[in-house]
Amino acid sequence: MFLIISLRERTRSGSASATKRDQHHVIFFLIIISRDLVTLSTSCHQPFAAMMQEGLDDGPDFLSEEDRGPRAMNVDLEMDATLQVDISDALSERDKVKFTVHTKSTLPNFKQNEFSVVRQHEEFIWLHDSFIENEDYAGYIIPPAPPRPDFDASREKLQKLGEGEGSMTKEEFTKMKQELEAEYLAIFKKTVAMHEVFLCRVAAHPVLRKDLNFHVFLEYNQDLSVRGKNKKEKLEDFFKNVVKSADGVLVAGVKDVDDFFEHEKTFLLEYHNRVKDASAKCDRMIRSHKNAADDMNRIASSLYTLGTQDSMDLCKFFLKVSELFDKTRKVEARVAADEDLKLADLLKYYLRESQAAKDLLYRRSRALVDYENANKGLDKARAKNRDVLQAETSQQLCCHKFEKISESAKQELIDFKTRRVAAFRKNLVELAELELKHAKGNLQLLQSCVGVLNSNT
Amino acid sequence: PKQDSLMDDDPEDLFAGATEEVSLDSPERDVLLSDGPSPAITPITPPTSVIAPRIGHAHDDMFTHSSFDEIEEEEGGDSFDVHISVSDPEKVGDGMNAYMAYKVSTKTSLSVFKQRDFSVKRRFSDFLGLHSKLASKYLHIGYIVPPAPEKSIVGMTKVKVGKEDQSSNEFVEKRRSALERYLMRTVKHPILLKDPDVLQFLENSELPRAVNTQALSSAGILRMVNKAADAVNKMTIKMNESDAWFEEKQQHFENLDVQLRKLHASVESLVCHRKELSVNTAQFAKSAAMLGNSEDHTALSRALSQLAEVEEKIDQLHQDQANADFYLFSELLGDYVRLITAGGSGDLELYFYFIFFRIRGVFDHRIKTWQKWQDSQVLLLKKREAEAKLQFTNKPDKLQQAKDEIKELEGKVQQGERDFEQISKIIRKEVGRFEKERVKDFKTIIVKYLESLVQTQQQLIKYWEAFLPEAKAIS
């Protein structure tokens, strides 16, 4: 079931005699998405047919792939029955998004086999940070935290639309409203997907899935009372990062004896930068695409007006071309949206993951440096014949830590590559298939229109 | 004493008032019929009827009232067979005196031309000169003379200075295309096609350089019209259906102007965004190639490189599409906006001003001359009485004078009526022809544009179909 409830809310502007200008018509949407239970395995997906808006109704199959997109980014995750996590519901309110995290598990440590809780973005961040801060997980690629839901741009546009309602025709207004609704919806779905991917990665990881915080996150049905970081903590974080990057430079200079890690280091550094660049350029490309689609929308409106006003000979002609532009721009908008989903989001995700992988390498290098320092310390202690035992213990600890990290890091990096290749493959194939589908759809629209126009003249 | 001519002013003066020096400060600059200050105009000395334009050559007879119908028949008989192309822009000279010379080639089987296939070299000011001549001859009698392409100081300076870059090449191409469309529109007009200046323009290897700084400004014509109207008493005109027709047409064109401008603006925006898309796609292609290089999984690396290639081809596709957006759709709209527009080279609106004042002027004048005639009759009566008294003094001149006056007035009224009917007829016909032309133009060009979109999609399909197996081959 899919409902869009639009609420018009007037912000209080003080005096009762506020002019119309002062009153903002802000259009909020409560979007309630409920899906059936879906697992990450692509086989039993319910198409999001219900997610369609009226305006997009003329091409039901245009949307059917949509929901498979970002969520199945890491297709290789083996989901087993012991722990399945997904986001079954999401609610968008003024400032925040409330995710319904749904878990199905046969693990003994959960009270029930199936349960749901409501979580907000901050709680996801808390979970992520708790992984980062946990020394035991130093040897793993910590799944990157989902980005904060950002509806500001969309909200601004909706607000502007509300303000400008008087200055455009009814059709234009309806069209723009539909467009903005679609945009809002797309952003919303994306943020849901990103949060879900994070949870699924954690659930798929052999060690992280056992984390206590994770279980609390999944099960505890009260508010976790996680507050966002206050200024002091944010400042601390900032300095930590500064230290880390300075450190990282030092550490990166140390050549690794191990060929595998040396290769990975070089690779990741370059790869990360290039993914960053590709991601930025991809976003720009898609934005231009959206702009072009918007222009077509305006062209369609103008042609429609001309069609209702002009001389008899041209009326029908203009109306038909207007219709065509309307349909074709919907296709173009979908092309941009799909490119966004399959390509832009993919690149963004791997930007974050490659950063997480770099962090892992950094931690390992740090451990190596510590190990080497401990070695030096031991030698010194032995030379001076003082605190030898202490130094030995310390050295052993460092050695053990380093080796543990190295071992798990190696596996993690290999898995990372596998996941990456699989994700790229899936998304590139789907991208190509969607581009083809839309181009063919577009072609058909255009050809049939040209045919009609030619036969009429 | 000299009799009143049709207008209160001396016809010579009338048109002298319409020509003026153009300076950068003159407010009429924006409404110049041709945007350039330079071309020479043969000043018009109209015959007694302002309607008949001065042709100068052997074609005078075409424009007497009876022959006008002949032209209509000719139109029907002759199938339109003229094709003009403007090509091979060539820079002549150096520095600020340089100019672009364009080859104007005509292919035709019409008998009005001396040859079937010929070409000449023309520069931009020649086009402006042609337009000025046509405007001064035909505008005021109701013909829709196509506006000349616009001058661009910035654009031309770049070309003169010798910048051989993308933007100046684009400028030259835009201009070439606009000049071609201008000539085609001009020759499509059955009257203009046979105009000796047009023929001369197309055929003569040498053309006298247009140097005169005077220009026939639409503001000047407007003033002239207003003068005539002001000089006459305002009065009520009985509304007949032809007034209603004109009013309706004016409204129609005003609406059309607004809508076309809006559409034009949207299409221009589309062109801009498509160009942006092309640039951004190219950049993404490079970035994807780099990413492919650094990817260490061989098959994925290859697929990414392929993706980069596809995107590169697509960016070229977008560029080509943007050109089609522009040259087909946008320029079509731009041309019609200029043709119809109320501001700028507001030729059509001018007609309607002219018609109304003309109608009113003629009616007014008609009434006035009737009044004068009445006055003259009273005068005549008085004079007869006086004559009776004078008979004894024997002054036959005064009597004859009165009789002559009356006769002339009656003649003038009849002429005015004929003029009025003629100009109404011409305008109706012109509007009909213009609309037919417009419908044809829009339909043809827009369909052509849609076909360009079809091609783009077909190419896209080709590219992605080639890429898909590469993507699937990643293992």
Cβ–Cβ below 8 Å for B450 and A275: no
Min Cα distance A121 → chain B (Å) is 31
d(CA B308, CA B289): 5
Name the residue with higher pLDDT: B201 or B214: B201
B439 at A interface, C-beta within 8 A? yes
Residues of chain A neighbouring B293 (CB-CB closer than 8 A): 274
pLDDT of residue B341: 55
Min Cα distance A43 → chain B (Å) is 19
Q: What is the pTM of this model?
A: 0.70
Choose the mutation target among A285, A301, A453 for the interface with B, i.e. most B CBs under 10 Å. A285
Band (pLDDT 50/70/90 cuts) for residue A28 is: very low
pLDDT of residue B243: 62
Min Cα distance A421 → chain B (Å) is 7
pLDDT tens digits along B362-390: 334 334 444 544 554 555 566 556 555 65
Residues of chain B neighbouring A309 (CB-CB closer than 8 A): 255-256, 259
pLDDT tens digits along A149-165: 888 777 787 787 778 77
B474 at A interface, C-beta within 8 A? yes
d(CA B421, CA B414): 11
Return the number of other C-beta atoms located less than 10 Å from residue A256's C-beta.
18
Q: Using CB atoms, which residue from B259, B287, B450 is nearest to A446?
A: B450
Mean pLDDT of B420-425: 69
Cβ–Cβ below 8 Å for A288 and B276: yes
**Alpha helices, DSSP H, located in A134-258:** 152-163, 170-204, 212-219, 231-253
Cβ–Cβ below 8 Å for A313 and B439: yes
Q: Using CB atoms, which residue from A281, A285, A299 is nearest to B277?
A: A285
d(CA B88, CA B144): 29
Question: Which residues are bridge partners to A118 per DSSP?
Answer: A100
| Residue of chain B with shortest Cα separation from A428 | B471
Band (pLDDT 50/70/90 cuts) for residue B43 is: very low
Cβ–Cβ below 8 Å for B307 and A428: yes
Question: Which residues are bridge partners to A105 per DSSP?
Answer: A83
Among A349, A386, A364, A416, residue whose Cα is nearest residue A198: A349
pLDDT of residue B262: 87
Cβ–Cβ below 8 Å for B296 and A267: yes
pLDDT of residue B214: 34
pLDDT of residue B363: 34
pLDDT of residue B272: 92
| Tokens describing residue A272 | 């990360």
| Residue of chain B with shortest Cα separation from A336 | B277
pLDDT of residue A231: 72
Among B68, B75, B33, B34, residue whose Cα is nearest residue B51: B68
Are A293 and A328 spatial neighbours (Cβ–Cβ below 8 Å)? Answer: no
Cβ–Cβ below 8 Å for A302 and B259: yes
Min Cα distance A163 → chain B (Å) is 21
Three-state DSSP at B295 gives: coil
pLDDT above 90 for B459: yes
pLDDT above 80 for A243: no
Residues of chain A neighbouring B472 (CB-CB closer than 8 A): 425, 429
Q: Which of A137-146, A297-306, A420-429, B335-344 has the lowest mean pLDDT?
A: B335-344
HSE-up of B23 (CA within 13 Å, CB side)? 2
Tell me the percentage of chain A whose pLDDT exceeds 90. 37
d(CA B371, CA B232): 12
Band (pLDDT 50/70/90 cuts) for residue A255 is: low
pLDDT above 70 for A267: yes
Mean pLDDT of B244-259: 76
**Which residues have C-beta within 8 Å of that of residue A94, sequence separation ≥ 6?**
A28
Min Cα distance B158 → chain A (Å) is 29
d(CA A422, CA A413): 14
pLDDT above 90 for B284: yes
C-alpha dist (Å) from residue B389 to B380, B383, B395, B399: 13, 9, 10, 12
Are A26 and A158 spatial neighbours (Cβ–Cβ below 8 Å)? Answer: yes
pLDDT of residue B385: 64
Mean pLDDT of B298-317: 92
Cβ–Cβ below 8 Å for A306 and B287: no
| Chain centroid offset of residue A133 CA | 23
B118 at A interface, C-beta within 8 A? no
Min Cα distance B464 → chain A (Å) is 6
Are A128 and A145 spatial neighbours (Cβ–Cβ below 8 Å)? Answer: yes
Band (pLDDT 50/70/90 cuts) for residue B326 is: confident
Min Cα distance A451 → chain B (Å) is 10
Cβ–Cβ below 8 Å for B280 and A285: yes
d(CA B441, CA B452): 16
Name the residue with higher pLDDT: A69 or A128: A128
Return the number of other C-beta atoms located less than 10 Å from residue B451's C-beta.
16
Cβ–Cβ below 8 Å for B291 and A274: yes
Average pLDDT, chain A: 77
| Tokens describing residue B65 | 């009232």
Band (pLDDT 50/70/90 cuts) for residue B2 is: very low
d(CA B53, CA B70): 17
pLDDT of residue B423: 67
Cβ–Cβ below 8 Å for A311 and B435: yes
| Residue of chain B with shortest Cα separation from A287 | B277
B303 at A interface, C-beta within 8 A? yes
d(CA A354, CA A264): 11
Are A335 and A184 spatial neighbours (Cβ–Cβ below 8 Å)? Answer: no
| Tokens describing residue A392 | 């030995």
- Burial class from Cβ neighbours inside 10 Å (0-12, 13-18, 19+) for residue A259 reads exposed
Cβ–Cβ below 8 Å for A424 and B450: no
Tell me the percentage of chain B whose pLDDT exceeds 90. 23
pLDDT of residue B333: 86
pLDDT of residue B335: 82
pLDDT above 60 for A186: yes
Are B413 and B366 spatial neighbours (Cβ–Cβ below 8 Å)? Answer: yes
Choose the mutation target among B256, B321, B443 for the interface with A, i.e. most A CBs under 10 Å. B443
d(CA B166, CA B381): 81
B255 at A interface, C-beta within 8 A? yes
**Which residues have C-beta within 8 Å of that of residue B242, sequence separation ≥ 6?**
B424
Mean pLDDT of B399-428: 67
pLDDT of residue A419: 92
Residues of chain A neighbouring B269 (CB-CB closer than 8 A): 295, 298
DSSP H or E run through B410: helix B396-472
| Chain centroid offset of residue A299 CA | 33
Length of chain B: 475
pLDDT of residue B107: 93
The answer for B 83-102 residues in CB contact with A (under 8 A) is none
- What is the number of CB-based contacts under 8 A between chain A and chain B? 159
d(CA B284, CA A340): 13
pLDDT of residue B354: 41
Min Cα distance B297 → chain A (Å) is 7
Are B100 and B123 spatial neighbours (Cβ–Cβ below 8 Å)? Answer: yes
Average pLDDT, chain B: 69
Among B172, B232, B215, B335, residue whose Cα is nearest residue B7: B232
| Tokens describing residue B51 | 């309607």
Min Cα distance B305 → chain A (Å) is 12
d(CA A121, CA A146): 8
DSSP H or E run through B86: strand B82-92
3-state secondary structure B43-67: CCCCCCCCCCCCCCCHHHHHHCHHH
Cβ–Cβ below 8 Å for A267 and B263: no
Among B45, B52, B22, B21, residue whose Cα is nearest residue B140: B52
Q: Using CB atoms, which residue from B284, B454, B468 is nearest to A432?
A: B468
| Residue of chain B with shortest Cα separation from A312 | B439
Name the residue with higher pLDDT: B222 or A201: A201
Residues of chain B neighbouring A284 (CB-CB closer than 8 A): 280, 283-284
Exposure string of B2-14, with b = 16+ CB inside 10 Å and e = fewer, is eeeebbbbebeeb
- Burial class from Cβ neighbours inside 10 Å (0-12, 13-18, 19+) for residue B190 reads middle
d(CA A10, CA A28): 11
Residues of chain B neighbouring A442 (CB-CB closer than 8 A): 457
